[in-house]
Structure 1
Amino acid sequence: MLNHPTLDQLNTLGLQGMAKAFSELIADPEAAGLQHGEWLAMLLDRETVYRQDKRMAARLRYAKLRHQAAPEDIDYRAARGLDRQFVQELLKGNWIDGHENLIISGPTGVGKSWLSCALAHKACRDNRSVLYVRAPKLFDELALAHGDGTFARRSKNLGTVQLLIMDDWGLEPLTAQGRHDLLEILEDRYGRRSTVVTSQVPVAEWHGLIGHATYADAILDRLVHNAHRIELSGDSLRRPKPRPKA
């Protein structure tokens, strides 16, 4: 079948959602009974959905989330101290609008990273920019960036993204350069953007982990004092469940 002139125009204008809907409508005999206003409403609706989906896909690609975690899949049944009402409030995103932070702590395997990615996924849905990084890898990359001249660009990206997820914080002590870099990142974000930190190390031990009293005071002041906290507990969710006895 030859292309309809209107279809050509829609594609030329970059209205791919409307073009696809138009192709489906002209191929559907039942669509002949629709009024002009109904046709237009359907075309506009499909274009809106197409653009929303495209933006969402772009945000998720940029975020590079560790887990494909959706907020609807958060497990509140496992005994790990997760408060449903509090998490539902976090999912609304008001704390991100208020440029507040979030600390998720607890032993390995209780779902800290997964929960942070679920919150980040919801932020992407809400048209917010998100970036996920693992703290050990981040500091290695920043050390290399100092040498190849890309630190300023990398630091800018970390400073301007609306929600930064810093996963697995505290697995190893910070170097002198790492302390300085972290302080600069948090200084750029403080009062302007929100940061999520997940850690196996209790917050009370972070001061010693940073390894320099002056830096530790400055870093924790910018990270902890305005942070919401989720303290998870319990057994690792990764452990295989025992099979029921026959």
Structure 2
Amino acid sequence: MINDETRRKLRELNLAEMVNGLEQQQPDTVTMSLSFDERLQRLIDYVYQEKYNSKIQRLIKSARFRFPQADMHDLCYEGRTLNRELITELSMCQYIDSHQSIILQGPTGSGKTFLSCALGKQACLNQIKTRYVRFPDLLMEYGDASLIQGHQKKMLNKYGRIPLLIIDEWLVSDISDGELYFLFELMERRSDSTSTIFCTQYRKEDWVKRMDEGIQAEAIVDRYAYSAYWIETGTMNMREYYSRNSKL
């Protein structure tokens, strides 16, 4: 049995999981009968798994998903145009390693947000930092940052470095010239170095119009709308579908 001083030192070294693992081993006669090397291996496996689980939970919490419970196994494919093989491939997160992006396009209620959160959670499970934000909230944050000198640059640096950024309700709000310049700078920093998931109601031909058809708007569209994985989520209203099935 380890003494209190050893417990204190382990916790100070951020190894509280080792304390718990050792205490779990003590009453287990089978484990205690193993050799030192075997017990140490089991202990290290336990500590590794606990630290991994803690990191994943921190990543999921910091991502601020709209649907933190979203899971790839809960996706509905019945009656939808979703390509199961492609979605499965994307769930492996290799597109993030390749700095590719995804556009989920469909009407309100077609499951874009749920799918984006499920893909985002897969990234977290692969220990990839992820952040979910609604487009209107992103513009509001930019507006607040504009009031304080230097905060716009800090905001660009913060969002520009996130390996996977999910922007929900993309282009749902009208955009001012200042906001368009901010989006241009943000997408310029993220292009070819990070991955972005856009959830939008608008088809690619409507993107430039939503951004007032300027050069910066064309540059944003050119960087994403033609090279990203374009996934149409279909016309089925998923809220209605799940509500109807929950009553059966």
Structure 1 length normalisation: TM-score?
Answer: 0.92
Letter of the 2:53 counterpart:
D
Count matched residues.
243
1:12-51 alignment, distance < 5 Å: 12-51=12-51
Unaligned runs of 5+ in 1: none
1:10-89 alignment, distance < 5 Å: 10-68=10-68, 69-77=70-78, 79-89=79-89
Q: Secondary structure at the match of 2:123?
A: helix
Provide Cα deviations, 1:71-120, integer angstroms capped at 9, x if missing partner: 2222223x121111000111111211111111000011111011001111
1:171 and 1:102 map into 2 onto residues whose CA distance is 17
Q: Secondary structure at the match of 1:169?
A: coil
Q: Are 1:241 and 2:240 an aligned pair?
A: no
Provide Cα deviations, 1:116-164, integer angstroms capped at 9, x if missing partner: 0111101111111111110011111101101123222111111000011
1:162-173 alignment, distance < 5 Å: 162-173=163-174
Unaligned runs of 5+ in 2: none
Match of 2:231?
A: 230
Alpha-carbon distance, 1:9 to partner: 4.3
Alpha-carbon distance, 1:173 to partner: 2.2
With over 3 angstroms needed to count, the CA separation of the structure-2 counterparts of 1:104 and 1:94, relative to structure 1, is same
With over 3 angstroms needed to count, the CA separation of the structure-2 counterparts of 1:23 and 1:191, relative to structure 1, is same
Match of 2:180?
A: 179
Match of 2:135?
A: 135
Alpha-carbon distance, 1:38 to partner: 1.5
Structure 2 length normalisation: TM-score?
Answer: 0.91
Provide Cα deviations, 1:13-38, integer angstroms capped at 9, x if missing partner: 32122211100111223333122122
Q: Secondary structure at the match of 1:143?
A: helix
Match of 2:194?
A: 193
1:237 and 1:70 map into 2 onto residues whose CA distance is 15
With over 3 angstroms needed to count, the CA separation of the structure-2 counterparts of 1:213 and 1:227, relative to structure 1, is same
Match of 1:92?
A: 92
2:39 and 2:9 map into 1 onto residues whose CA distance is 16
Are the equivalent residues in 1 in contact too, given 2:10–2:19 (CA < 8 A)?
A: yes
Q: CA RMSD in A?
A: 1.9
1:6 and 1:43 map into 2 onto residues whose CA distance is 16
Provide Cα deviations, 1:188-211, integer angstroms capped at 9, x if missing partner: 011111111010122221111111
Q: Are 1:107 and 2:107 an aligned pair?
A: yes
2:140 and 2:175 map into 1 onto residues whose CA distance is 11
Letter of the 1:89 counterpart:
E
Are the equivalent residues in 2 in contact too, given 1:7–1:23 (CA < 8 A)?
A: no
2:53 and 2:105 map into 1 onto residues whose CA distance is 33
Letter of the 2:55 counterpart:
R
With over 3 angstroms needed to count, the CA separation of the structure-2 counterparts of 1:122 and 1:2, relative to structure 1, is closer
With over 3 angstroms needed to count, the CA separation of the structure-2 counterparts of 1:13 and 1:214, relative to structure 1, is closer
Return 231-240 or 174-183, whichever deviates more.
Answer: 231-240
